[in-house]
Amino acid sequence: MRVKTNEQAIRELARLISGLNYNPITFDSPDLFPSGDEYIYANYVFFLVAIDHRTGFPRNKNKYHGSDMLFYLARKAQKREPDLFTAEKMLTITEKDVLEIFTIDGFSIKKPGERAALLRDCAEKLIQYYKGDIRNLFKKADYFLIRNSDGVLARLKAFRAYEDPLMKKSFLLVKILRRQKIIDVRDVHNLGLPVDNVLVEIALRSGIVGVEEYRTSEGVLNSDEAIELRRAVGEAFKKVSVESGITPDIIDDLLWTYGREIRELSQKPIKTPLDDRIGSKEALREFLSFIGKGTNLKLSFPETWYF
């Protein structure tokens, strides 16, 4: 596979994002997140992000879909049982339990057995190494994302759900906990974007990244190709961060939220929870035009729980 980046497009996207004057969300919606207890919040997010991949929840009459629906259903269950998403409870979670929590209007989360296994693995290792509290992982890493072999990112890879070499879930976890000021990191410059298929599609559609000579037929990538493409996309958007002076997690808010809507909706206008947080509506129109232009290269990723 040959992957090329377009430096001019990177600079243009940086300019457009800078012009949005975006006031970042704080991940405190009562529909999606618990409040009032940092231990409950941090571990709830740790376990939810662990299974935040290809949920299969469709867009229908519900306000939420996809990843949002995952958090919505988890929060409904957690309201009834406040300590549900803690290591002690997740240690014995079963496929049946996952189905009971994550089913709505006849739709159930994909691969419930796999997700139950990932949750149990997270719980077991969290108890074994961090006294059942994800905040202790950050403490043991002295709040460095990268520090020899024992930074936050390296430690998270011990959990099967977080073993993605490009650390999509790890960066998402750090992003949410930082935004809530539950933790922070000393080496903010090592933050990256949680690169998934939505961000890859934006990069390809807008021309920030181009792909030539991929080896597989009918656009189905193998694991090595998927990693190569995702890495190139992550590096390109990291350049956008440097060029704009805006941290990767903030850029991810914008790319993922609007990119998902462009991907799934054929009609316009697009509406998202971020709209009221954008300072310039004209800049938003330019931004949407940029990330929505072009034609998607139809690529399919291999089955994975990485993203």
CATH number for the segment(s) 38-140: 1.10.340
How far is the C-alpha of 185 from the C-alpha of 167, rounded, in Å?
Answer: 16
- Tell me the pLDDT tens digit for each residue of 25-45: 999 999 999 999 999 999 999
What is the block-wise mean pLDDT of the chain (307 residues), using blocks of 10 residues? 92 98 97 97 98 91 91 98 98 98 96 98 98 98 95 98 98 98 96 96 94 64 93 98 97 96 70 95 96 77 94
Residue 258's alpha-carbon distances to 100, 201, 277, 279, in angstroms, are 31, 12, 13, 15
Q: What is the pLDDT of residue 299?
A: 80
In the chain, what percentage of residues exceed pLDDT 70?
Answer: 95
- Which tokens is 260 given? 């998902």
Residue 302: alpha-carbon gap to chain centroid: 18
CATH number for the segment(s) 2-24+192-292: 1.10.1670
- Tell me the pLDDT tens digit for each residue of 113-151: 999 999 999 999 999 999 999 999 999 999 999 998 899
* Nearest residue to 176 via CA among 304, 17, 49, 11: 49
Sketch the domain layout of the chain as residue ranges: 2-24+192-292, 38-140
Asked whether this chain's domains 2-24+192-292 and 38-140 adopt the same fold, the reply is no
Count of all residues that appear for the chain in the document: 307
